Amino acid sequence: MYKIPAEPFPFAFQPEKAALVVIDMQRDFLEPGGFGETLGNDLTPVREIVPTVAALIGLFRKRGWLVAHTREDHLPDLSDCPPAKRDRGSPTLRIGDEGAMGRILVRGEPGAEIVPELAPIAGEIVIDKPGKGMFYATEIGPLLKTHGVTQLVFAGVTTEVCVQTSMREANDRGYECLLIEDATASYFPEFKAATLRMIRAQGAIVGWTVPFATFEQAVQ
C-alpha cells in the first residue's frame, strides 16, 4: 500500500487491486483534421497531456500493474449509435461519415485508433464503448472483476465528458477512483477545472485527484 497525498485527503493506493484506465486518447479526438477539430475545438489542451499520459502508462508497465484503454466508437452498421447522438445539432460531419481518417468514430477505422504514442501493448485491456461512460454496454465491469480490481486510476479525454462519466459510473459501482490531474484534459480548460473541484467535493464524493509527479514520487 502506498499513501498518495491526493486531494481532498490521502488515497490508500493498492496496486495489486488497481488498474490504470486511459480514456479515449484516440486520433479522432487528438489529431488535426479529426472529429474533435471538425467540431470547432482547439486541440492544444488535449495534445499537451500526451507526454504525461505516456509517462503514467510507462510507470504502470514498468511496475507490472494493470493498464486498460478505452475507445469511443461504433459498429460499422451504427446499430449501437443512438440516432439522438448522431443527428444532434445537425453537424457538418456526423458519426459514420467519411472524414480525414476514415469513417468517424467507427471501430477499426484509423481515426478511432489510440494515438501511436500511447498505443496499447499485449496483455492490456482495450474496450470499445458506444457511450461516454465506460461501463454502459461494454464488458469492462466483468473484466475488472476477473482481475480483482477495486481501485481505478484515471487519465484521458475529455475530463468533463467521458472521463467524468466513467468515474461517476465507477464510483456508483464501488470503485475507489483517483484522477491524475495533468494526465487528463478538456477542450475547455474551465470545464476541466470545475470537474476536478466537483469530483473532490463533499469528502471525495466521486473520487480523488493528484498531479502525476506527486503520484510518481509516492509510489517509489
Q: Which residues are catalytic?
A: 24, 129, 162
Residue 202 is a binding residue for a copy of itself (CB under 8 A): yes
What is d(CA 39, CA 93) in angstroms, rounded to the nearest whole number?
Answer: 8
Residue 64 or 203: the one with the smaller Cβ distance to a copy of itself is: 203
The single-letter code of the amino acid at 204 is A
Q: Are 172 and 134 in contact (CB under 8 A)?
A: no
Residue 9 is a binding residue for a copy of itself (CB under 8 A): yes
Residue 171 is a binding residue for a copy of itself (CB under 8 A): yes
- Show Cβ contacts of residue 191 under 8 Å, excluding neighbours closer than 6 positions: 158, 159, 160
Residue 77 or 122: the one with the smaller Cβ distance to a copy of itself is: 77
Residue ranges of the alpha helices (H) in 64-182? 83-87, 140-146, 164-172
Number of Cβ within 10 Å of residue 116's Cβ equals 7
- 3, 205, 213, 217: which one binds a copy of itself (CB under 8 A): 205
Residue 126 or 205: the one with the smaller Cβ distance to a copy of itself is: 205
Residue 52 or 165: the one with the smaller Cβ distance to a copy of itself is: 165
Report the site for a copy of itself in 42-101 (rule: CB under 8 A). 82-85, 88-89, 91
Q: Which residues of 21-42 are buried (b: 16+ CB within 10 A; e: fewer)?
A: bbbbbbbbbbbeebbbbbeebe
> What count of residues does the chain have?
220
Which residues sit at the interface with a copy of itself, rule CB under 8 A?
8-9, 39, 41, 82-85, 88-89, 91, 130-133, 136-137, 150, 160-161, 164-165, 168-169, 171-176, 187-188, 190-191, 194-195, 197-198, 201-206
